[in-house]
Chain A
Amino acid sequence: MPDLSEFEMSRRGVLAGGAATAAVVAAPLGAAQSDIAQARATKPLPVRFSVNGKTRELSLDPRTTLLDALREHLHLTGTKKGCDHGQCGACTVMVDGVRINSCLSLAVMHEGDEITTIEGLGTPEELHPMQAAFIKHDGYQCGYCTPGQICSAVAVLDEIKRGVPSHAQDDLMTKPTATNVEMRERMSGNICRCGAYSNIAEAMAEVAGAKA
């Protein structure tokens, strides 16, 4: 059985000022009381993972998403919070080599993982080829979705290289290639409100071509 002791407090205890002063109740909690108790923070948990090659140790409320851990705790604000529901792709990062929505993942679930954010791809002095291609092809306007677009774009070319199938493929037994249709399909989890899609696809095509 899990230890729920930190939830067991009276409504008065919560209203009177929170965790340290909370009284423990003897009787089982009613629904309303347990609702209030539930809104409190729970005991922080330790987690250790590597971000951009550097080991980081944090102590986090278990509710903290990987996105919030990166932005609010490690101050790596390159990764963006758009919808916070996995619909826009602004929070895309790489974990153990594959792209995920960092907003839909708990930081404490990433013990031992290797995380790469936009800050780990390149620097202003030494851009990643995808970053350089986005600049050259004007693959953004406001720039808010761009870190997620670039992380996703880098991961997409790797997925094509590894033969990960997509909805755009006619023949599932043929290795996919970096065609415009393939890249557009695979980038559908990254929304750009400015509509820079065609330039993003051109930037990706250049990087894919350079690699080929």
Chain B
Amino acid sequence: MRAFTYERTKDASAAARAVAGNPAAKFIAGGTNLLDLMKIEVETPTHLVDVQDLGFDKIEATRDGGLRIGALVTNTNLAADERIRRDYGVLTRAIVAGASGQLRNKASTAGNLLQRTRCPYFYDTNMACNKRKPGSGCAAIGGYSRQLGVIGVSDSCIATFPGDMAVAMRVLDAAVETVDATGQRRTIPIADFHRLWGNKPEQDTVLRQGELITSVTLPKPLGGKHFYEKVRDRASYAYALVSVAAVIQPDGTGRVAFGGVAPRPWRVEAADALLPRGAAAVTARAFQGATPTKDNAFKLPLATRALASVLAEARA
């Protein structure tokens, strides 16, 4: 691990200023992804700003009937919150489908949104990777791509966003709230939070240097039945090959987002509208223009089957 200096502050603006003023500085919350990447020197911050004392660790009701989730609420505490389990079941189900009990106890809500791809070429510092080293090329294209993206990817990068929690948040139309070094606040719809790679795969999200996530808001509950169907190589503690987050209403309408397939949770609102016509209609629309590799083309029929299984359960 490269050497770094460390500070811990109770003041969000001071934290934002410390990171904004130093392009090699980073926030650290749970640290479960950042430290992992620092050990293999994929991440090499020279300064860490510990944000654990900022007080963003509560889940509170919003005025419009939704919830505001503090950026530091752990995955475990978010999944276990009674309001989340009752009214936003898709979110609890997505969180408990990810990582391990130990990691969920440490991983934060903001950190989970910011977790980096699990593309093996991103982790292997001997390989070309535009995301890790801009301009070095993409060894995944033409390489081992079974886990990688089938849509929304580019000629520079075919990695996926690996998380589960954000896929549920996409279905729920969550919004990410931030503050920057000047005290300026902004609200970013989750749909716009993760970037498509384009020719700049080194930048995962629309956040600017030093912009700090303070909370994630959920609109008022949608009702309906909530599902998170995750297909993976092991029964537990593995990243998704394909996942389906869905909220289905009694009349068969609803919303659906897919994980493990794209640089961000993949939801196409026009495909939601086809839910009453069945899984094949939805995925045909949601994955229109997909560019799978030979190794990961299986993800397209797998997405249809995973959604079909959810819809069958919704009818049951």
Residues of A within 8 A of B (CB): 1-4, 6-7, 38-43, 45, 61-63, 65, 84-86, 89, 92, 98-101, 104-106, 108-109, 111, 152, 155-156, 159, 162-167, 169, 172-173, 184-190
The contact of B85 among A43, A62, A172, by CB within 8 Å, is A172
The contact of B93 among A86, A163, A172, by CB within 8 Å, is A172
Distance in Å: Cβ of A81 to nearest Cβ of chain B: 12
A159-B101, A188-B234 provided; 8 other pairs, C-beta below 8 A?
A1-B18, A2-B46, A38-B3, A63-B3, A86-B103, A104-B32, A155-B101, A172-B89
Among residues of A, the one whose C-beta sits closest to the C-beta of B234 is: A188
Dominant secondary structure at the A interface: loop
Of B3, B7, B85, B106, which is in contact with the most chain A CB atoms at under 10 Å from its CB? B3
The distance in angstroms between the C-alpha atoms of A61 and B18, with both chains bound, is: 20
The contact of B1 among A63, A100, A167, by CB within 8 Å, is A63
Question: In this assembly, does B10 line the interface, its C-beta being within 8 Å of a C-beta of chain A?
Answer: no
Q: What are 27 contact pairs spanning A and B, CB under 8 A? A: A2-B5, A2-B47, A4-B5, A4-B47, A42-B5, A62-B48, A63-B1, A84-B39, A85-B39, A86-B103, A100-B105, A100-B106, A101-B102, A104-B32, A105-B31, A105-B35, A105-B106, A106-B48, A152-B102, A155-B101, A164-B80, A165-B79, A166-B96, A167-B97, A169-B96, A188-B237, A189-B103
Question: In this assembly, does B86 line the interface, its C-beta being within 8 Å of a C-beta of chain A?
Answer: yes
Q: Which residues of B contact A105 (CB under 8 A)?
A: 31-32, 35, 106
The reply to whether A2 and B7 form a contact with Cβ atoms under 8 Å apart is: yes
Distance in Å: Cβ of B201 to nearest Cβ of chain A: 21
Among residues of B, the one whose C-beta sits closest to the C-beta of A185 is: B236
Distance in Å: Cβ of B236 to nearest Cβ of chain A: 4
User: Count the A-B residue pairs with Cβ separation under 8 angstroms: how many?
Assistant: 132
The reply to whether B85 and A42 form a contact with Cβ atoms under 8 Å apart is: no
* Interface 0/1 of B3-14, CB less than 8 Å to A: 111111000000
The reply to whether B105 and A2 form a contact with Cβ atoms under 8 Å apart is: no
The reply to whether A189 and B101 form a contact with Cβ atoms under 8 Å apart is: yes
Q: Which of B21-29, B125-133, B262-270, B284-292 contacts A (4 or more CB under 8 A)?
A: B21-29
Q: Which residues of A contact B31 (CB under 8 A)?
A: 104-106, 109
User: Which residues from 210 to 259 on chain B have a C-beta closer than 8 Å to any C-beta of chain A?
Assistant: 234-237
Instruction: Knowing A1-B18, A1-B22, say if A98 contacts B76 (CB, 8 Å).
Output: yes
Distance in Å: Cβ of B237 to nearest Cβ of chain A: 4
Among residues of B, the one whose C-beta sits closest to the C-beta of A172 is: B85
The reply to whether B32 and A86 form a contact with Cβ atoms under 8 Å apart is: yes
Instruction: Knowing A1-B18, A4-B47, say if A39 contacts B102 (CB, 8 Å).
Output: no
The reply to whether B102 and A165 form a contact with Cβ atoms under 8 Å apart is: no
Instruction: Knowing A165-B92, A173-B85, say if A38 contacts B39 (CB, 8 Å).
Output: no
Q: Which residues of A contact B205 (CB under 8 A)?
A: none
Question: In this assembly, does B36 line the interface, its C-beta being within 8 Å of a C-beta of chain A?
Answer: yes
Q: Which residues of A contact B50 (CB under 8 A)?
A: 109
The reply to whether B35 and A42 form a contact with Cβ atoms under 8 Å apart is: no
The distance in angstroms between the C-alpha atoms of A100 and B104, with both chains bound, is: 8
The distance in angstroms between the C-alpha atoms of A99 and B75, with both chains bound, is: 13
The reply to whether A165 and B105 form a contact with Cβ atoms under 8 Å apart is: no
Among residues of B, the one whose C-beta sits closest to the C-beta of A3 is: B5
Q: Which residues of B contact A62 (CB under 8 A)?
A: 3-6, 48
User: Which residues from 43 to 100 on chain B have a C-beta closer than 8 Å to any C-beta of chain A?
Assistant: 44, 46-48, 50, 52, 76, 79-80, 85-86, 89, 92-93, 96-97, 99-100
Distance in Å: Cβ of A159 to nearest Cβ of chain B: 7
The distance in angstroms between the C-alpha atoms of A104 and B106, with both chains bound, is: 9
Question: In this assembly, does B2 line the interface, its C-beta being within 8 Å of a C-beta of chain A?
Answer: yes
Instruction: Knowing A185-B236, A188-B237, say if A45 contacts B44 (CB, 8 Å).
Output: no
Of B31, B52, B102, which is in contact with the most chain A CB atoms at under 10 Å from its CB? B102
The reply to whether A86 and B102 form a contact with Cβ atoms under 8 Å apart is: yes
Of A42, A86, A169, which is in contact with the most chain B CB atoms at under 10 Å from its CB? A86
Q: Which residues of A contact B96 (CB under 8 A)?
A: 165-167, 169
Q: Which residues of A contact B8 (CB under 8 A)?
A: 109, 111
The reply to whether A173 and B5 form a contact with Cβ atoms under 8 Å apart is: no
The reply to whether B5 and A40 form a contact with Cβ atoms under 8 Å apart is: no
User: Which residues from 93 to 127 on chain B have a C-beta closer than 8 Å to any C-beta of chain A?
Assistant: 93, 96-97, 99-103, 105-106
Distance in Å: Cβ of B316 to nearest Cβ of chain A: 12
- Closest 4 A-B residue pairs measured CB to CB? A189-B100, A188-B236, A188-B237, A42-B3
Instruction: Knowing A1-B22, A39-B2, A164-B76, say if A189 contacts B237 (CB, 8 Å).
Output: yes
Distance in Å: Cβ of A30 to nearest Cβ of chain B: 15
Q: Which residues of A contact B4 (CB under 8 A)?
A: 42, 62-63
The distance in angstroms between the C-alpha atoms of A189 and B52, with both chains bound, is: 24
The reply to whether B101 and A104 form a contact with Cβ atoms under 8 Å apart is: no
Distance in Å: Cβ of B10 to nearest Cβ of chain A: 12
The distance in angstroms between the C-alpha atoms of A41 and B1, with both chains bound, is: 10
The reply to whether A167 and B86 form a contact with Cβ atoms under 8 Å apart is: no
